[in-house]
Structure 1
Amino acid sequence: RSAAMQWLLLKLDKVLGEDISITHQLPEFQQLLRQLDGLDEIFNLYLGSDAPLLLPLRRRLARMIQRAEQVEKEPVKVVERVKQAAVQLFSSDSHIDNEKDAQRTLSVQENSVRSLCRWWLKQKTTDSRAFRLGRSQTWYAVDSLPERNSEKITPLRRLPADKLNNYQERFEQGLYADLIVDIEASLAGSPFWFDGQRMVWNCLKALGGEAAMREVEAQFALLLKRIPDLVELRFHDGVPFADAETLQWIATYILPAEAYVGTAYGSESQHDASERNSLYHDALPVLQTKGLKAAVQLVNDHLNGVEGGRERFFCKLCIARLCIDAHKYELAKVQLEYLDQELQSASLPAWEPTIVLDVSRLLYSCYERMALNDKAAARKEVIYQRLCHHDLERFIDG
């Protein structure tokens, strides 16, 4: 009997992980604590010195409950909501004959998806399914930029300041699991609050949810590749959709410039590649805080002290990458076309294939994001054929 109880305790200890949301299932965990107290009394009465030690597990659970009680939340009826979501999601009785039926069915499905994702998160906060399905629903209808003025200010309102402060305080306290559940609910109603995407990602990182982190990255990248100028817009009060820290996160993890170049530096020494990238990474924070002009000036200051042709080439390539990060694709295109001509005229493709591939990928990404005239369209086709020859996997994967 004692061995069986030890097995049960090991199971309980494994279940009470840091990625379990306590706040949103508080009554259930409070009942579990009372049951542990009762078990402890029974064990001591009948097993004496052979009784399994419940005190460490009980203390751990009590601390988790105490932390959860500090945040006031509405009670959640888990089983009922899951049953409702399942019935609505998989019911085949709905018949759509007109636009009104379609909108009504869509509304039902959206509510069901929210309930299902919320339940998944309460069972395991790092469940990647919740992040995949939730973001697909939130962003599926976003196919263009929202209404905005010349200063890129939209009529959209951001979350209340007190709620943002509450989220930040709880993040600093390490209440990651419960915080994710609440932030995800806020993101469903505020799809352009990109700082919230970063906060969720950081919570998942703290919990070790690698698969869920990758899902957040992948879904966010799909949105920004479809509508890249979203990150430049602002809420009605002038606050940006993405602050400087979030822009840095996007540039590093969501749409890094290296994503365009892949393994282009494969044949170069790690020292050369890291030295060249260090200039770009030095300029990137300047771009995000002071703008493109200041970032380009930083690179030009470095360029003025460089004598070697190779080093000067990579300084100019760095400027083109910064233009892409600033969504100035026309400027980047001009820079990259010049660099590409320089490479071709110097007969470098045979000797520097990785550098040529780097420039070609970046240039093609610019063409993809721009409205092209006949001349540019013909140029894009040339680059496309070159990439198909040297980098066919890129287009197969696409």
Structure 2
Amino acid sequence: MQPEEILSSRNDGRMLEHHLQKIREISSHCRQRNGADPLSYKLSRKLLWCNIEGLPTSTNGITRIPAPDKQIVKMLFDLHDGGDAEALLRAAEGRLPQFIFWIDLNRFVAESLARLGANYTRAHRAVCQETAFLIYQLPGLEDLSFADGTPFSTLETKDWLKSIAIHSGTPSKTVSDSKCNFQDDKNRVAEEIAEALDMIHKGKLLEAMECLQQKLNAASSGREKILWRLAVARLLLKVKKYELALPHLDQIIREIDIFHLENYDSALALKGLKMVCEGLESQNDESLKSKKAEVLYRIAKIDMAEAIRLGKA
């Protein structure tokens, strides 16, 4: 390359960066002027993701990308659980430039926009479309994690990604849709458990467990899988098949750890840990006492009162 070509290349780079900065300023101005303007959400994501050519380097799904501070994670999830849509929108959208692969941020933004009402529908659609296109270009991104193991996408975010996926041909779901689907999952599990109990009372234990295992294997999301596993474990404990329940209790602990549920879905984590604790309590095995103590400690970090109650059992 000749000196004048190098100079020209550098000038082109500077000019490109100059124009990109102008677009960033336009995007920021649009959002500050009108938080319902879809253009700002489209522009910010196109700028952040346009130069990504492939998945970040990873080993066993763990990248070298520094994770967000735990306090930031807690703050965002507290805002989400508290229902403060405007504050969550500002906090999540504002951190996207720092954590461009943290897909949870996009779900938080989308859910916030959905909660803010009809005026924000186009902005909500823009966030869903841009995020769906990113995953379409980089399939598997949602399964990766930051350097400390914090996932780019929680179970709820993965469910959301499935609902907005380009190949699905269906519109993105709103917050109320997600809650309804979660309730539907729980209702369906409860119905299947009732049928399985009826089969067991008729002496068809094997058939009942085969049916539930098929449901577990066919679960379409991580959350649904955990719900089915909890149901299987609960049923085995109910009919006093303690040894058969233990492998499922161990797997519940593993899935809570894999998906960092204590940070990202504390209610589901608490449900799973309580099930494990109750299962261990049913065993007259001294070697399991230390394991129960560990589970109680984890429960206490989520709900101290519940840990005290279980500890007295």
Shift of 1:211: 0.7
Q: How does 1:204-223 map to 2 (within 5 A)?
A: 204-208=113-117, 209-223=120-134
AA at the equivalent of 2:73: L
Shift of 1:155: 0.6
Could you report, residue by residue, the CA deviation over 1:94-118 in whole angstroms, capped at 9, with x for unpaired residues? xx96332233233333333333222
Assess if the C-alpha contact under 8 Å between 1:248 and 1:288 holds in 2.
no
AA at the equivalent of 1:213: H
Matches of 1:256 and 1:104 in 2, distance apart? 35
Matches of 1:134 and 1:280 in 2, distance apart? 40
Aligned equivalent of 1:259: 169
Aligned equivalent of 2:23: 113
Q: Which of 210, 214, 221 is 1:285 aligned to?
A: 221
Instruction: Mark the structure with the bigger radius of gyration.
Output: 1
Q: Which of 140, 152, 155 is 2:64 aligned to?
A: 155
Matches of 1:281 and 1:131 in 2, distance apart? 38
Assess if the C-alpha contact under 8 Å between 1:233 and 1:240 holds in 2.
yes
Shift of 1:255: 1.3
Shift of 1:259: 2.8
Q: What TM-score do the two structures reach when normalised by structure 1?
A: 0.40
AA at the equivalent of 1:212: A
Matches of 1:148 and 1:187 in 2, distance apart? 21
Structure 2 residues not aligned, in runs of 5+: 1-5, 171-187, 189-214, 233-313
State the secondary structure of the residue aligned to 2:55: coil
How many pairs does the alignment contain?
A: 180
Assess if the C-alpha contact under 8 Å between 1:193 and 1:242 holds in 2.
yes
Aligned equivalent of 2:54: 144
Shift of 1:159: 1.8
Could you report, residue by residue, the CA deviation over 1:177-234 in whole angstroms, capped at 9, with x for unpaired residues? 3432332221122110001110001100111211111111111111111111211211
State the secondary structure of the residue aligned to 2:140: helix
Shift of 1:250: 0.8
Q: Does 1:104 align with 2:40?
A: no
Assess if the C-alpha contact under 8 Å between 1:235 and 1:241 holds in 2.
yes
**RMSD after superposition:** 3.2
Q: Which runs of 4+ in 1 moved over 6 A?
A: 278-282
Matches of 2:145 and 2:34 in 1, distance apart? 33
Aligned equivalent of 2:34: 124
Q: Does 1:165 align with 2:74?
A: yes
Q: How does 1:77-92 map to 2 (within 5 A)?
A: none
Assess if the C-alpha contact under 8 Å between 2:162 and 2:168 holds in 1.
no
Q: How does 1:300-319 map to 2 (within 5 A)?
A: none
Residues 182 and 283 (structure 1), Cα distance of their counterparts in 2 relative to 1, 3 Å cut: same
Assess if the C-alpha contact under 8 Å between 1:118 and 1:181 holds in 2.
no
Q: Does 1:235 align with 2:146?
A: yes
State the secondary structure of the residue aligned to 2:97: helix
Could you report, residue by residue, the CA deviation over 1:69-92 in whole angstroms, capped at 9, with x for unpaired residues? xxxxxxxxxxxxxxxxxxxxxxxx
Could you report, residue by residue, the CA deviation over 1:359-390 in whole angstroms, capped at 9, with x for unpaired residues? xxxxxxxxxxxxxxxxxxxxxxxxxxxxxxxx
Aligned equivalent of 2:105: 196
Assess if the C-alpha contact under 8 Å between 1:148 and 1:154 holds in 2.
yes
Matches of 1:251 and 1:178 in 2, distance apart? 26
Residues 129 and 224 (structure 1), Cα distance of their counterparts in 2 relative to 1, 3 Å cut: same
AA at the equivalent of 1:164: V
Structure 1 residues not aligned, in runs of 5+: 1-95, 261-277, 299-398
